[in-house]
Amino acid sequence: MRRALLIEIRRSSLRWCVPVFTCFQLAMLFGKSEQWEYAWSETSAAITVATGISVPLIAAAAAWEGTRWHRSGDVSVFHHHTRFAGAGYVLQLLATLCLVTVPFVVTTVAAWISAAAVSGPGLLWPGYLLFALAVQWAAAGLGLAAGRIVASRLVVPAVAMTFMVPLILLPGGHPFALFSLFGGASMVLLPQAVAARVLIAVAALVLGLAAIGRHRDVSVGAWRGWTIMAASATAIVIAVQIMASGGPILTPRAADGIDPLCTDTEIEICVWPDQAGFLPELTQYAHRLEELSSFAEVPARYTADGLDSADDDATFSLASATGSWMRVTDLAFWIDVNEYPEQCDPDAELDTETWNREGDQLAVWYSYWIFGGPPPPGNGGGIPYDREAMAELIAQPVEAQFAWAQATRERVLSARPCGEWD
């Protein structure tokens, strides 16, 4: 059987696509701008993105392989030389799955090595891997079935375009998405979303095996083939209904029993165990927050979204997709958050416009200080502030910056002017 499978793999037209699929998936994986290597959950999600984007190519290649029996009149050299009449089709299906799985395995191993180099030894999340592999096998099975059923070679671009529709139109968290765009540690894949795709993959593979074209010489007989095809199609419809009823593919992760990892600093920043790769960066931020605590009210402990936290803990979003600057602004948001006057003062020193402008400038300076400089190109939006004045301020010595921050803080927190909202 092994020798027969190897011969079938060498005969498969898909063998020429394996290097292309592998290079394409690796390019999609390492072409992502986000720092997915810093969290194992995000590494796992990045694998679904890299492999999911290649699904139209896989389905098209499988469809072309399925048309082989129309082109050559015989699917396998073993079709007429075994006791089991369907051996040729089984070998074709197994060869297709082996060739489709090779790029997936290479991409997964490359992602693990890259993440381990940054975050240390860890495990990829199996739900994401099963999700990605199921999507690829489903595409291969459906493409193979379409190629066997339809004699025209136009089935190849038709299958590719069919899978391009959800790829282009549906966001990464949609119930029918081909991948998970978000992989934050605070979220997990919905079990029924994974199970539905596994069901579709199994049904698609059975459909690809039992598919009946214009030839009567099929592995399981015409009437039985139609029955199996109908059952497979029904299973796919059921799986689609399961996906539709489940809603978005991600759900909040339970934090019970999770021991967070925290920075070894006076002001603690705590994250999920899967986010250990962020700790060196967050440790630097914690030290700079400690410097601000000499004159500002800074929370003693920050916890990443989703973790169990005390009432006085500050929470922040930690995901590679948000970028370092967004993490910093989340940390800076909590500085002096409880110090602002609740009641307005009609005799306040500053008018409303000046009070808002100085308050925004101070909040942005906090972010600049924690980050250690200006935001990366393309960041820094959100709160309006005077960029030229901020550039001049951060160019001054630390003592001058702190003196400005303390004076501005005293003016802003001393009294809040009354405005239209009061």
pLDDT in tens, 30-64: 987 567 888 899 999 999 999 999 999 999 999 99
Q: In this structure, are 209 and 308 located in the same domain?
A: no
CB atoms within 10 A of CB 79: 19
Same domain for 227 and 296?
no
- Which helix H or strand E contains 303, and what residues bound it? strand 301-304
Q: Which whole-number Å values give the CA distances from 306 to 45, 164, 303, in the listed order?
A: 18, 34, 8
Q: Which of 220, 252, 284 is the last residue of a domain?
A: 252
* Same-domain pairing of 162 and 52: yes
- 3 state SS of 413: helix
In terms of domains, do 211 and 345 share one? no
pLDDT, one tens digit per residue, over 355-368 is 888 889 999 999 99
Domain encompassing residue 277:
261-414
What Cα–Cα distance (Å) separates residue 417 from each residue in 360, 363, 384? 15, 18, 19
What's the confidence (pLDDT) of residue 148?
Answer: 83
Q: Which residues pair with 315 in a beta bridge?
A: 303
Tokens representing 1? 């059987």
198 and 104 assigned to the same domain: yes
The last residue of a domain, from among 204, 226, 252: 252
242 in any annotated domain: yes
Between CA 146 and CA 72 the distance in angstroms is: 17
Residue 192 shares a structural domain with residue 153: yes
Q: Given a cut of 50, is residue 398 above it in pLDDT?
A: yes
Q: Are residues 160 and 13 in the same domain?
A: yes
**138 is a domain residue:** yes
pLDDT tops 60 at residue 254: yes
421 occurs within a structural domain: no
Q: Which of 230, 252, 274 is the last residue of a domain?
A: 252
Helix runs in 190-276, H state only: 191-210, 222-246
- In this structure, the number of other CB atoms found within 10 A of the CB of residue 216 comes to 9
pTM, entire model: 0.84
Residue 92 lies in a domain: yes
Specify whether the CB–CB gap between 268 and 303 falls below 8 A: no
* Whether residue 104 is found in the same domain as residue 228: yes
> Quick one: pLDDT at residue 25?
96
- Distance separating alpha carbons of residues 121 and 40, to the nearest angstrom: 10
d(CA 369, CA 284): 11
Q: Are residues 248 and 354 in the same domain?
A: no
Residue 377: pLDDT over 50: yes
Q: Are residues 244 and 274 part of one domain? A: no
Quick one: pLDDT at residue 81?
Answer: 46
DSSP label of 15: G
Task: Answer whether 180's CB lies under 8 Å from 49's CB.
Answer: yes
**Count of domains in the chain?**
2
Instruction: Name which residue leads in pLDDT, 75 or 329.
Output: 329
Instruction: Please give the pLDDT value at position 59.
Output: 94
Residue 422 lies in a domain: no
